[in-house]
A and B are shown apart, each in its own frame.
Chain A
């Protein structure tokens, strides 16, 4: 079992996603990155292939899912976005056979899912649902131990794993292991839900609107923690949401789905924001696509102006995104805002012009980096 908390040393490039909480700003600052880095991610994830998967319920004329095909790379976080009832959840649930497909094939690392014993299969796929579904009569430790127990792990190994996972999701094991779910807040319960799904270190995670029932502040916090977690564990994750902004914030790639789980567009967040495939996708993005894209672009990816040009008291940290920089510009009322490194020194400046330029460069960039075995970040 790989140690999930171990830093991934072999990763060649730092993440380009917003990383306010990651706390590795000093290393980021030393590497001059471009805005589109392609990297083969260090991953414990599996390769998922869905081919012509359909679900037809008896007595329903229209299939719930029709001929769905998709290739998900190891370690990739794919978001399924679509309106209620479009079949995105049904599609996801066919992967662990909570719903049995009517036709088509699903393979995980080349193994045909439909020929495996469903219970055995599910023990190796992490599953998180919106309502969490913690067992109320079991303690937090017992909840997390469910799958390891099914897999016949030793008591010592299970108990060490529970402590490790609680630390990973930022819950103090000595405080929380013996508590019951009802004694935890919604956000804490959701973290336990994630820890429970990770318990046996499955290569694949299926997440059905896991943060949907939490308040906006908790949700944002959970999302950031989740991103940081995924950076270290590199699972292959299918994440269902109806919130496009969440998809942009979290996804390596986003599949925008319409009725019968038809894929309207499947691409990186940046590519979908800059080049929506059709009106349906455009309507899903909503207003402010440029602003949303700025949220994907780190300040480190832009050529900064002279530090001396920054005059006002308002600065932004180098680790922020261009969206934060624009926010600071608007707040300051100045034409230019200083950029500070982790030690608070002004290392450069940004103007509205330089931000627009960066946005323009991003529009043409993604086409280069959408290789089949690479994850564009």
Chain B
């Protein structure tokens, strides 16, 4: 393996910048898509199970079990079912995102104080209406934090999606690792890794912004 050469790395970036940008875009898209699916599923599950002891433990435990499966194994298992490419990656990332989103949804919905629940019921709001117009908006900052955690988690895991032919920067990292000793091996791996870190920072900043503009002023600290 050759030593680190900054000039070489910069040259590498200059020559392949459209490849790199394309992979970054793919990476971001696959993560965001997975987060959108997981938010819809996770919040939906949370809304259904939040008030049932059994439902709650079932949902949270299942999501926790999924998260304990090594990502490489989970992706490999999906090849016979969904083939290679985007589909297994997207499904895998969605599954991994569920735990923080379901858990935070349940916690957020349950955190609404009994006094607020009672005054809502006392004004003649049905349970469904209380859930959607009172509990969900009040739980939103907690839920969005769950999505944020899921984002950090999946940005890293998405790199492994390349193992099943998935999109994103993982392709560069794997290329580097599989061609160790060659001239550009380190540049490939390093670019992929730095790209993942960059995306993580950008997405986190994005969530700062989303949290701020989707949370009621009355709930902001």
Contact = CB atoms under 8 A, between A and B. Distances in A.
Given A135-B134, A138-B218, A150 B115 contact: no
B19 interface: no
B116 A133 contact: yes
Contact of B124 (A123, A134, A182, A196): A123
B122 A127 contact: yes
Contacts of B118: 98, 129, 133
B125 A119 contact: yes
B124 A119 contact: yes
A120 B124 CA distance: 6
B122 A122 contact: yes
B137 interface: yes
Contacts of A119: 124-126
A96, A121, A137 interface centre (most CB from chain B within 10 Å): A137
B116 A135 contact: yes
Given A131-B113, A146-B125, A136 B219 contact: yes
A139 interface: yes
A181 B118 CA distance: 17
B123 A150 contact: yes
B126 A133 contact: no
- Interface residues on chain A, size class: 20 to 34
Contact of A127 (B119, B126, B217, B219): B119
A120 B123 CA distance: 9
A299 interface: no
B214 to A, nearest CB: 11
A203 to B, nearest CB: 14
A147 B124 contact: yes
Contacts of A123: 123-124
Contact of B119 (A125, A132, A150, A182): A132
A121 B113 CA distance: 23
Contacts of B11: none
B9 interface: no
Interface residues of B, number: 19
A98 B121 contact: yes
A180 interface: yes
A131 B118 CA distance: 10
Nearest to B129: A150
A122 B123 contact: yes
Nearest to A119: B124
Nearest to B139: A137
B163 to A, nearest CB: 43
- Among A96, A120, A124, the one with the most B-chain Cβ atoms within 10 Å of its Cβ is A96
B131 to A, nearest CB: 13
Contacts of A131: 113, 115
B218 A127 contact: no
B109 interface: no
Given A132-B115, A133-B115, A133-B116, A146 B123 contact: yes
B147 interface: no
Contacts of A182: 218
B120 interface: yes
Interface string A146-180: 11001000000000000000000000000000001
Contacts of A132: 115, 119
Given A129-B115, A131-B115, A137 B218 contact: yes
B123 A147 contact: yes
B157 interface: no
Given A98-B118, A131-B115, A180-B218, A136 B124 contact: no
B216 A137 contact: yes
Contacts of A121: 124
A346 B195 CA distance: 89
B98 interface: no
A127 to B, nearest CB: 4
B138 interface: yes
A373 B165 CA distance: 84
B115 A98 contact: no
Given A122-B121, A122-B123, A146-B123, A137 B115 contact: no
Contact of A180 (B122, B138, B217): B217
Interface string A3-23: 000000000000000000000
B123 A136 contact: no
Interface string B93-137: 000000000000000000001011011111111100000001001
Contact of B123 (A127, A137, A138): A127
A125 B123 CA distance: 8
A135 B120 CA distance: 9
* Closest 3 A/B residue pairs (Cβ): A133-B119, A180-B218, A131-B115
Given A98-B121, A122-B122, A135-B120, 10 more contacts: A122-B124, A129-B118, A132-B119, A133-B115, A133-B119, A137-B216, A138-B216, A150-B123, A150-B124, A180-B217
27 contacts: A96-B122, A119-B124, A119-B125, A120-B124, A121-B124, A123-B124, A124-B124, A127-B119, A127-B122, A127-B123, A129-B115, A129-B119, A129-B122, A131-B113, A132-B119, A133-B113, A133-B116, A135-B134, A135-B138, A137-B137, A137-B219, A138-B218, A147-B123, A150-B124, A180-B216, A180-B217, A182-B218
